[in-house]
A and B are shown apart, each in its own frame.
Chain A
Amino acid sequence: MHATFTSLHDLMVHTKGVTYALMGLVLIGMVGFWLFLSGREQDETTDDHGHGH
């Protein structure tokens, strides 16, 4: 990414724009990661409840 910036404002608009886009992607990614991390625990809890009934 060798974009040329003629002012600090241009640079800030560019970097903040990219960062905000990344933040959105990370937010979605984190939800997915949490589901991956704790998914099996929820399955086990559901199974336990199932056996209980």
Chain B
Amino acid sequence: MSEHAVTAKQSLFTPFNVVAGLIVLMGAVLTVLRFTGGLGAVTNLSDDNPWGIWIGFDLLCGVALAAGGYTTSAACYIFGFKRFHSAVRPAILTAFLGYALVVFALHYDVGRPWRLPYPVFLSQGTSSILFEVGLCVFIYLSVLFVEYLPAFFEWQRMPKVRGFLVKLTMALTILGVVLSTLHQSSLGALFLIVPSKLHPLWYSPYLPVYFFISSMFAGLSMVIFEGSLSHRYLHHKMDQAYTSEHDGVMLGFAKAASLIMAGYLAVKLFGLSMDNRWSYLATGYGAWYLTEIIGFVALPCYLYAVAARDRNLGLVKRAAALTVIGIVVNRFNVSLVAFNWQLPPEARYFPSLGEIGISVFVVTVGVLAFRFIATRMPIFHAHPDYPESH
């Protein structure tokens, strides 16, 4: 065996690859169990609790954290912040994979996954918010796929198709913003139908507004978070333009996220006031609500502001991580923790190990797909044939 072959073999068995391989193996086993034994074989879902972490985490968190696609492309192409241009492709790729994995995870969650296209093509429930969400996710995933394709065609050296798709950029960006506005808010609107099941501190007629505003800073924070991880592990794939713009992107997004989070806090305060929910703050659920609002919104908002003022990139990264965790906490609270809050503990839902395993598997597939694409296609660098694309 040559020295080169030995090195290649060694480099394949890195700690990351071994852990990812084990998770994929576990996911494959759980997938077989799920599709041969049904939902009951791997989940704690029931008719009383039909939505578990595959909705609360894979779908609600996945869609919110994939919002970086529309926020970044809107900032660059619609609002004219061209200094954020190098962040657009990584953000679009993250969003595309995020939405693709949402649909992938839905195949595990719905009882008959082969009927997923039915609501769009065969039986349109036009009075249902869930239909609107499904339709928007279907169209927006297609939009993100087309937005991502120029990088693929640059990699495959197909300039004509690539050139045609690049001309669609502005139209796709506008379509992306419209579709995201619709379905990010509608995911919150899904819970308007359960005022008696959702705790009053989390239930509000303004839930769609909360979900939409929080998706904006979730997306910005995810771009910062993903960018800092990529900067660490995929630095060798980045060109001069990307690395020189990176700090400006981080600080600009930190400032924007801070301002949006301040607005979100204000709207949440107005919601509490309009619904006269103050008395609930003195309960156990109130303590958890205040933890979410102060610890995972107000604190990162302040950290972002200080970081943007002091041009402190380390603090920006920490605030982004805290915000991403905060979004997960918020979506979990709405869909799981504060949901069915009046039921006795034994009737409440808690995810099984199988459900957690599938969610970890889905995230791992996303990370592997991101790494596969980012190490081969011009995501963090301009293709030599198209130096202006960055």
List residues of chain A with CB under 8 Å of any chain B CB: 1-2, 11, 14-16, 18-19, 22-23, 26, 29-30, 33-34, 36-40
Pairs A–B under 8 Å by Cβ, sample size 20: A1-B276, A1-B278, A1-B279, A11-B276, A15-B274, A15-B276, A19-B273, A19-B274, A22-B269, A23-B270, A26-B266, A26-B269, A26-B270, A29-B266, A30-B262, A33-B262, A36-B305, A36-B309, A37-B305, A37-B309
Cβ contact of A33, chosen from B270, B278, B305, B310, cutoff 8 A: B305
- Given A2-B279, A30-B266, is A37 in contact with B255 using a C-beta cutoff of 8 Å? yes
In order of increasing CB-CB distance, the 5 nearest A-B pairs are A19-B273, A1-B278, A26-B266, A40-B309, A15-B276
In the bound complex, CA of A23 to CA of B308 (Å): 26
Per the CB 8 Å criterion, the residue count for chain B at the interface is 18
Smallest Cβ distance from B96 to chain A, in angstroms?
32
For residues 233 through 266 of chain B, which have their beta carbon under 8 Å from a beta carbon of chain A?
A: 255, 258-259, 262-263, 266
In the bound complex, CA of A38 to CA of B263 (Å): 16
Cβ contact of B273, chosen from A2, A18, A39, cutoff 8 A: A18
Majority DSSP secondary structure for residues of A touching B: helix
- New A-B contacts (17) at CB < 8 Å, excluding given A37-B258, A37-B305, A39-B309: A1-B278, A2-B279, A14-B276, A15-B273, A15-B274, A15-B275, A15-B276, A16-B274, A19-B270, A19-B273, A22-B269, A23-B270, A26-B266, A29-B266, A30-B266, A33-B262, A34-B259
CB <8 Å contact, A37 and B259 = yes
In the bound complex, CA of A39 to CA of B309 (Å): 8
For residues 276 through 322 of chain B, which have their beta carbon under 8 Å from a beta carbon of chain A?
A: 276, 278-279, 305, 308-310
Q: Which residues of A contact B308 (CB under 8 A)?
A: 37
Q: Which residues of A contact B275 (CB under 8 A)?
A: 15
Q: Which residues of B contact A33 (CB under 8 A)?
A: 259, 262, 305
Q: Which residues of A contact B269 (CB under 8 A)?
A: 22, 26
Residue in A closest to B278 when the chains form the complex, CB atoms: A1
Q: Which residues of B contact A19 (CB under 8 A)?
A: 270, 273-274
Smallest Cβ distance from A35 to chain B, in angstroms?
11
Smallest Cβ distance from B185 to chain A, in angstroms?
21
In the bound complex, CA of A33 to CA of B263 (Å): 11
